[in-house]
């Protein structure tokens, strides 16, 4: 495929993503609203639990598409894990032990326990102790919170109040603060060929906190004792520093991964995709990240994935020694994925035909450009009002408290914003007054849900 054709595909894809919910303005607004949501939920929950929440992953970054799950990072704020800890009477103090662990993982030793509450996460018996006699903390320790919740890896899934509004499940990922700075120091100091991230960003990110989450390295003999080190909020900040075309690459590569690559290789997850985009952003000259280079960036990303598979190492962006495909791709699956990527690289921009939802939206842009623009303006307006409503309701919602015990607060939140709620309903269902007069209440609910779904065509 010629360079001119790829440029045309790039412009077509870019304008479609802008129209159907991924222009930079709306992704930034989405992320900002979820930051407010997290702050509101944390403010309420900290009155009951020593937990602070942060919406992370695609939703928190503003790049969630379709009905993908929402990830809420739940950090136990009375606990900190350090490489060289000093005992603090007001905190549970943990110490890292990297012996025998893969890069990006650590065993955790309890140095000081603040509370003797029977439901405390450190109220357990363990046969594993350090040379100083302190107990190791198994990653299952945090599952004490999981009563009545479905355990899903390091995340705990449940139907949430948000499900009623944006049709998704919420995963609570429990974690502790991690204060080790060696990984971030090495990350900030390593050589880079181009100017991303900027020096000011490197300085900002290198001072941010990390987390340990309760999941061990699968091939390890001590998997149950290991915790994964991650820099979730730092990665979220980095996504915000991608330029408009790199952000489009992010959402496009997520679609390629989910629709095209994961049926062939499950190891190419959305988290792998995010790390690939970071490496591409760091390793690409600014002039190659223009509006007509989206297909070039996509092909560069697919080639990078192929190269990593061939070399059995796909590096984590923050901790390059950590292999994101370690124990994930073997034998025939690996070779078939490499061969498949080779075929995809020959297709250029035409790879989009393999993503039915995106291709349908692109076709609609060609058939009815005026109506597509009108739709785009409407959907952005609806989403902004939806997000504002969710933020408002989050001021009256507390995690882990049954909804029936919070219904009066949520009702009061609606009633306190009745004019805004009516404007919102009229935006979604302009036929509302006539339908109310005709008693078509079931039809109103149906239209409300259908039109909310219509804002998520991608």
pLDDT of residue 122: 65
Q: Do 145 and 121 touch, CB atoms closer than 8 A? A: yes
pLDDT of residue 323: 95
pLDDT of residue 156: 41
- What gap in Å lies between CA 8 and CA 291, rounded to an integer? 10
pLDDT of residue 120: 59
Q: What is the largest CA-CA distance in the chain?
A: 76
Q: Which residues contact 328 (CB under 8 A, 6 or more apart)?
A: 266, 267
Per-residue pLDDT tens over the stretch 392-450: 878 877 665 655 555 565 566 566 667 777 888 899 999 999 999 999 999 998 998 88
pLDDT of residue 151: 41
pLDDT of residue 162: 44
Sequence spans of domains, the chain: 49-231, 368-456
What is the residue whose two structure tokens read 């990593």?
A: 308
Give just the sign of the alpha carbon dihedral 79, 185, 214, 277.
positive
Query: pTM above the 0.95 mark?
Result: no
Q: Is 146 exposed, middle or buried (0-12, 13-18, 19+ CB in 10 A)?
A: middle
pLDDT of residue 393: 77
pLDDT one digit per residue (tens) for the chain, 458 residues: 568 888 999 999 999 999 999 999 999 999 999 999 899 988 887 877 788 989 888 889 999 877 677 788 989 898 999 999 987 778 889 999 999 999 999 999 999 887 655 455 665 556 677 767 788 888 877 655 444 444 444 544 433 434 444 445 677 788 999 998 899 999 999 999 998 999 999 999 999 999 999 999 988 888 889 999 999 999 999 999 999 999 999 999 999 999 999 999 999 999 999 999 999 999 999 888 888 999 999 999 999 999 999 999 999 999 999 999 987 787 888 999 999 999 999 999 999 999 999 999 999 999 999 999 999 999 999 999 988 888 887 887 766 565 555 556 556 656 666 777 788 889 999 999 999 999 999 999 899 888 988 888 88
pLDDT of residue 410: 55
b/e map 386-418, b = 16+ CB within 10 Å:
bbbbbbbbbbbbbbbeeeeebeeeeeebeeebe
Q: Do 320 and 366 touch, CB atoms closer than 8 A? A: no
The domain at 49-231 falls in which architecture? 2-Layer Sandwich (3.30)
- What gap in Å lies between CA 62 and CA 278, rounded to an integer? 16
b/e map 212-246, b = 16+ CB within 10 Å:
bbbbbbeebebeebbbbbbbbbbbbbbbebbebbb
């Amino acid at each position: 495929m010629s360079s001119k054709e790829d440029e045309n595909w790039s412009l077509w894809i870019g304008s479609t993503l802008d129209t159907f919910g991924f222009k930079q303005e709306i992704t930034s607004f989405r992320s900002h609203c979820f930051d407010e949501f997290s702050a509101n939920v944390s403010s309420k929950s900290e009155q009951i639990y020593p937990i602070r929440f942060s919406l992370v992953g695609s939703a928190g970054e503003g790049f969630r598409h379709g009905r993908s799950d929402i990830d809420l990072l739940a950090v136990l704020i009375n606990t900190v894990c350090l490489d060289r800890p000093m005992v603090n009477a007001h905190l549970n103090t943990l110490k890292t032990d990297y012996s025998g662990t893969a890069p990006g993982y650590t065993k955790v030793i309890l140095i000081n326990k603040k509370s003797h509450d029977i439901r405390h996460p450190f109220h357990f018996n363990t046969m594993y102790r350090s040379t100083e006699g302190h107990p190791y903390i198994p990653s299952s320790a945090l599952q004490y919170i999981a009563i009545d919740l479905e355990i899903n890896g390091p995340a705990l899934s449940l139907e949430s109040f948000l499900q009623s509004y944006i049709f998704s499940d919420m995963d609570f990922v429990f974690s502790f603060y991690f204060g080790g700075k060696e990984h971030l120091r090495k990350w900030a100091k390593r050589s880079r060929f181009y100017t991303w991230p900027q020096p000011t960003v490197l300085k900002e990110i290198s001072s941010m906190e990390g987390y340990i989450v309760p999941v061990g390295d699968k091939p390890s003999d001590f998997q149950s004792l290991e915790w994964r080190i991650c820099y979730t909020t730092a990665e979220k900040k980095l996504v915000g520093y991608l330029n408009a075309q790199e952000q489009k690459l992010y959402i496009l590569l997520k679609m390629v991964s989910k629709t095209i690559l994961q049926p062939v290789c499950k190891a190419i997850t959305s988290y792998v995709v995010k790390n690939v985009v970071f490496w591409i952003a760091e390793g690409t000259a600014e002039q190659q990240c223009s509006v007509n280079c989206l297909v070039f960036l996509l092909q560069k990303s697919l080639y990078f994935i192929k190269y990593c598979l061939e070399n059995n190492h796909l590096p984590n962006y923050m901790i390059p020694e950590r292999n994101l495909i370690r124990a994930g791709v073997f034998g025939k699956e690996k070779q078939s994925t490499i061969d498949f990527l080779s075929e995809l690289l020959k297709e250029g921009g035409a790879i989009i035909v393999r993503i039915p939802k995106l291709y349908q939206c692109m076709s609609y842009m060609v058939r009815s450009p005026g109506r597509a623009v009108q739709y785009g303006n409407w959907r952005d307006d609806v989403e902004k009002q939806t997000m504002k409503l969710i933020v408002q309701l989050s001021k009256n919602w507390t995690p882990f408290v049954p909804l029936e015990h919070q219904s009066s607060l949520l009702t009061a939140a609606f009633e306190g914003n009745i004019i805004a709620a009516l404007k919102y309903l009229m935006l979604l269902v302009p036929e509302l007054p006539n339908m109310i007069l005709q008693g078509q209440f079931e039809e109103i609910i149906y239209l409300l849900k259908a039109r909310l779904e219509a804002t998520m065509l991608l």
